[in-house]
Structure 1
Amino acid sequence: MIIAIDGPAASGKGTLGKRLAHHYGYRHLDTGVIYRAVAKALLDLGADLTDEALAVAVASELDPEKFGNPALKTQEVGDAASVVSAIPRVREVLLNFQRRFAEDPPGAVLDGRDIGTVICPHADVKIFVVADARVRARRRTLEALGRGEVADEAAVLADIIRRDERDQNRPIAPLKPATDAYLLDNSNLDIEGGVRAAIDIVEAVRAGRQRV
């Protein structure tokens, strides 16, 4: 089974995917980390984030062993990743990696911003996670402060709004729910509540298929 998790509610979404994968014994991939890894490599080189040729070269040589680097979670890298992810050839290079991951047994949970629409359009279950932007800003600020970073909630909110607008309006793989995605609003849910809601969606789909 392939479970696709998308949506603008980035804060907590990766954790939701990871918990869901653990529950079902599936593998998990936070696809945003892939783009963050490309972005960090470009930042480390002091390169122009819009340098397509260099970005493609970096994307072609990614080392999955480095996906756990805590530095990938910083605001700076996240902002840069949104720019890098809009480069068509970078998306093309990383597309096959994500699809191979999804297709390997026993099953996989992938979360990002175009899983159900582009990466895995035939996923068995698609969940589109949303939350009020102010709630997301608060969560992200607390996460940053928890890592010992300096974070201004108003600035974080402004960045979230800008990123959502940019991702929703980009010409390649815009952020939008798949027509057959289930909406999960976690504005008023903690991670436990979000995981339970996601499991309920998956089980409802599985039960429906069993009745066919």
Structure 2
Amino acid sequence: MSDAVAAPVLTIDGPSGSGKGTISRAVAAHLGWHYLDSGALYRAVGVAAGWNDIDLADPAALVRCTFDTRVGFRDAPGGEPRVLINDVDATDELRTETAGAAASAIAAIPEVRAALKERQRAFRQAPGLVADGRDMGTVIFPDARWKVFLTASAEERAERRYKQLMDKGVSVTLAGLLREILARDARDANRPVAPLRPAEDAVRIDTTGMGIDDVVARVLALIDG
């Protein structure tokens, strides 16, 4: 059995704004494991498509874009990893609502999901992997030893996103963010391929009203237990 197959995996899935990225990075750092931000891969394809004026309704062109897009991650001390698209640091652009909407749209295309599947699975390396996304526990790593599904009320998720963007100097409205989150929830939950849903064996954690440290402790307790 190869190291990749033998390496343990913790999947953390959930809707936009549930805190899965923040929690996953913290858990991975605590364990000394690798970290996969699967959403960044879809956002990267969406951004690359925009750079090349590719129609998001053209599956064939998006699949070509997926194979042509190189995505790299560079550690940033004290913060989230920087994301490189074809050697260009596009981290800030990836975190925009436009990139998120593009990612949600292309994630519904089966051919794009298939093209990214093995790229995601390649992150499974010793000593272990924390993978965050929307189908990590159901499709990409169905054999993961531990699975978590994070959620929170739509209102709280909108408020979290609002604070993040305002801190970065991005002008948004809370009402607009709430509409976008509800719309994205509907798209992700109702897409025909790999819809957003908890794995049957996932532990569900509602993070509404919870602090980051409390959620991280809950997740770590699952592994320690």
What TM-score do the two structures reach when normalised by structure 1? 0.92
Residue 9 of structure 1: how far off its partner (Å):
4.6
Supply the distance in 2 between the matched residues of 1:57 and 1:190 (Cα, whole angstroms). 41
Give per-residue Cα distances to partners, 1:117-168, cap 9 Å, x unaligned: 0000000100000000000000001111111111111010011111111111
Supply the distance in 2 between the matched residues of 1:155 and 1:25 (Cα, whole angstroms). 38
Counterpart pick for 1:83 among 105, 112, 115: 105
In the alignment of these two chains, the number of paired residues is 203
State the partner residue of 1:123: 144
Structure number having the greater helix percentage: 1
Deviates more, 1:10-19 or 1:173-182: 10-19
Supply the distance in 1 between the matched residues of 2:66 and 2:213 (Cα, whole angstroms). 34
State the partner residue of 2:37: 30
State the partner residue of 2:26: 19
What residue identity is the alignment partner of 2:19? G
Identify unmatched segments of 5+ residues in structure 1: 205-212
Identify unmatched segments of 5+ residues in structure 2: 1-7, 73-83
Supply the distance in 2 between the matched residues of 1:8 and 1:154 (Cα, whole angstroms). 18
State the partner residue of 1:45: 52
Supply the distance in 2 between the matched residues of 1:19 and 1:155 (Cα, whole angstroms). 29
Secondary structure of 2:149's aligned partner: strand
State the partner residue of 2:183: 162
What value does the CA root-mean-square deviation take over the aligned residues?
1.2
Residue 42 of structure 1: how far off its partner (Å):
1.1
Check whether the contact 1:50–1:87 (CA below 8 A) recurs between aligned residues.
no
Deviates more, 1:62-71 or 1:181-190: 62-71
Structure number having the greater strand percentage: 2
Residue 73 of structure 1: how far off its partner (Å):
0.4
State the partner residue of 2:75: none
Residue 53 of structure 1: how far off its partner (Å):
1.4
Give per-residue Cα distances to partners, 1:47-93, cap 9 Å, x unaligned: 21121111111111232221662210001100111001111010001
State the partner residue of 1:209: none
Supply the distance in 2 between the matched residues of 1:199 and 1:53 (Cα, whole angstroms). 41
Counterpart pick for 1:189 among 210, 217, 223: 210
Supply the distance in 1 between the matched residues of 2:18 and 2:12 (Cα, whole angstroms). 13
What residue identity is the alignment partner of 1:141? Y
1:171-210 to 2 correspondences below 5 Å: 171-204=192-225
Residue 180 of structure 1: how far off its partner (Å):
0.2
Secondary structure of 2:123's aligned partner: helix
Sequence identity (%): 40
Runs of 4+ residues over 3 Å off in structure 1: none
Secondary structure of 2:205's aligned partner: strand
Deviates more, 1:3-12 or 1:40-49: 3-12
State the partner residue of 1:208: none
Residue 46 of structure 1: how far off its partner (Å):
2.3
Counterpart pick for 1:97 among 116, 119, 138: 119
Supply the distance in 1 between the matched residues of 2:129 and 2:68 (Cα, whole angstroms). 23
